[in-house]
Structure 1
Amino acid sequence: MNQPLKFREVAKRAIREQISAAALARFRDQGFHETTVEHIAADVGMSTRTFFRYFSSKDEVLLEATYAFEDRFLNALQEVLRTDNLWEALGLALRVSTIECRSDVAQHEREVQKLIQNTPSLMARQLEVMDHLQAEAASRCCLLNPQAARLDEGTVHAVVGSAFSCYRTAELRLDVDATSDEAGKALSLLMQALKPVALQD
């Protein structure tokens, strides 16, 4: 990547983070439904037209963390899928994604998640993204993982869904101040206890 392009990417990321922080503050103080794109843009000192260069809607500001998790997970999974052990590959990809997520601005992401959970339309959108993520993960597993290739497609989808259930349960059981090591350990223990019968040696 050349220097001007790299600088533009860094600048774009910084502006997106500024918009996200302003939106979260406004949502917290005023409520999601009462907040408009015009409010957020004004808080950052930009026009609504400029806002739309970075986000397509106020919903997308809150869902950005979900899309980022999707990218992190699929990239991590791609790196480990060729191992024969499908359950270990899924666990490793989820642990890497969890650690990276918690090393970002963790408090910000927890507040965003709380807002999503309290807004039915956003929760529905997030569930759609996670369903798509699991379907994409299962497809990649079937194509690239030797153990998954020996199973029927429905079983692979169920295995991926089970891994994500472990991830969600581990996240819910953790204290908000949990470290990335604690998050990874909680996930590993849960996945070890709940390894699907279809994958037992």
Structure 2
Amino acid sequence: MRQRTRDAVRQQIADAAIVMFDEQGFEETTVDQIAASVGISPRSFFRYFAAKEDVVLGDPMVHGEPVRRRLASSLESMPVWEALRSGFEPVVEIFESDPDRSLRAMRVIISTPSLRARHTEKHLAWMTVLVPLIADAMTVPETERQYQARAVTLCALTCLDLSTAEFVHRDGAVRARVLLDEAFRLLKPATLVN
């Protein structure tokens, strides 16, 4: 029960902060303002989040682990490129479950250099768990396997980044799923060998 209450308060803080970051700017919004908006002290804010950036990005593997699991499952029945697209389905589901919040969060990330950098770091963390799965699924010579697995995985992450940036650019008018599918079609490697 205590954990559910903690999670609910954490979500309330995050929701309020995302709106403030989007409306006022990330750098311009203070922890004091966020805390006041949800009726807690600034000290209490730091019980839930180590830093202001964590409200937007948090632990990179919170979303990376579901992507890894989905990719592992998809590789059992799909070619590598299609499995990578399927692996991002948990991210798409987050966007589709709350498009307004997702739009606000991505707008904040894209407009804040420090958050963009941490977003890139998040994807590099995902690479460490996705690349081994892709490498195991490929039948290219061992000398090329790691390189090709990294290249294909990074290309897939670029599709994800491209589609989320376009989702923001179009102000959420086109579903994230549609944009991600289009990016995967556009950037499909011509010579990918499983």
Give the letter for the 1:51 counterpart. Answer: F
How far apart, CA to CA, are the structure 1 residues paired with 2:106 and 2:186? 27
- Which position in structure 1 is the counterpart of 2:127? 134
Identity %, equivalent residues: 29
Deviations 1:132-163 (A, max 9, x none): 212321123224x2547865100110011122
Q: Give yes or no for the alignment of 1:26 onto 2:23.
A: no
- Which position in structure 2 is the counterpart of 1:60? 54
Q: Give yes or no for the alignment of 1:17 onto 2:6.
A: no
RMSD (Å), alpha carbons: 2.8
Alpha-carbon spacing, 1:69–1:126, altered in 2? closer, same or farther (3 Å): same
Give the letter for the 1:177 counterpart. Answer: A
Q: TM-score, normalised by structure 1?
A: 0.77
Deviating more after overlay: 123-132 vs 83-92: 83-92
Give the letter for the 2:184 counterpart. Answer: M
Deviations 1:119-138 (A, max 9, x none): 21121111111122123211
Deviating more after overlay: 9-18 vs 110-119: 9-18
- Which position in structure 1 is the counterpart of 2:32? 38
Q: TM-score, normalised by structure 2?
A: 0.80
- 5+ long unaligned stretches in structure 2: none
Shift of 1:167: 2.8
Shift of 1:67: 5.4
Deviations 1:143-193 (A, max 9, x none): 4x25478651001100111222233334444541334xxx43443354345
- Asked if 1 retains the 8 angstrom alpha-carbon contact of 2:56 and 2:105, the reply is yes
Select which of 128, 142, 152 maps to 1:159: 152
Shift of 1:89: 1.0
- Asked if 2 retains the 8 angstrom alpha-carbon contact of 1:22 and 1:44, the reply is yes
Q: Give yes or no for the alignment of 1:197 onto 2:182.
A: no
Shift of 1:39: 2.4
- Which position in structure 2 is the counterpart of 1:184? 177
Alpha-carbon spacing, 1:113–1:188, altered in 2? closer, same or farther (3 Å): closer
Shift of 1:60: 0.5
- Which position in structure 2 is the counterpart of 1:74? 68
Alpha-carbon spacing, 1:124–1:19, altered in 2? closer, same or farther (3 Å): same
Deviations 1:31-69 (A, max 9, x none): 322332222222211223322221111111011496544
Look up the SS of the partner of 1:50 in the other structure. Answer: helix
- 5+ long unaligned stretches in structure 1: 1-6
Alpha-carbon spacing, 1:147–1:17, altered in 2? closer, same or farther (3 Å): farther
Look up the SS of the partner of 1:152 in the other structure. Answer: helix
Select which of 45, 65, 80 maps to 1:86: 80
Alpha-carbon spacing, 1:128–1:199, altered in 2? closer, same or farther (3 Å): same
